[in-house]
């Protein structure tokens, strides 16, 4: 069924995912198991090609996203992730929601590979 409002669709998908968390998780786990080799190879290539990215991500693990944070792009408080705008500064992260984060990386993909 088509949705008039794309926001409605987003909420709907989110609700579905919330209700079917187990199913979604099982599915992605299955996919991961099946593609483990490929993922490992991909990780290896990425980590050797972009060691500064790996380092930045490891460093950023220490950073805890404060409870009251919101996405720096859209202001949404849900599903926040850490984003590095400069991997040479591993402790300088932006908090972005999953949607904005993904969108940002899609538009930047060809620049830095991640």
> Collapsing DSSP states into helix, strand and coil, what is residue 66?
coil
Residues 6+ apart with CB under 8 A from 95: 65, 69, 70, 71, 72, 80, 81, 82, 83
Nearer to Zn ion, 54 or 73 (CB): 73
Output the smallest distance, CB 10 to Zn ion, in A: 11
Angle formed by the axes of helices 21-34 and 36-49, nearest 10°: 80
Output the smallest distance, CB 44 to Zn ion, in A: 20
Nearer to Zn ion, 29 or 42 (CB): 42
The site for Zn ion (CB under 5 A) is made up of 71, 73-74, 76, 83, 97, 100
Nearer to Zn ion, 10 or 44 (CB): 10
């Amino acid at each position: 069924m088509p949705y008039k409002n794309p926001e409605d669709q987003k909420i709907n998908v989110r609700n579905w995912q919330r209700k079917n968390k187990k199913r979604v998780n099982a599915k992605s786990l299955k996919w991961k198991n099946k593609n483990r080799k490929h993922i490992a190879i991909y990780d290896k290539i990425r980590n050797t090609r972009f060691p500064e990215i790996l380092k930045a991500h490891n460093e950023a693990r220490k950073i805890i996203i404060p409870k009251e944070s919101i996405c720096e792009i859209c202001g949404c408080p849900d599903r926040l992730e850490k984003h590095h705008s400069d991997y040479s500064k591993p402790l300088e992260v932006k908090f972005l929601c999953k949607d904005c984060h993904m969108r940002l990386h899609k538009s930047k993909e060809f620049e830095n590979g991640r």
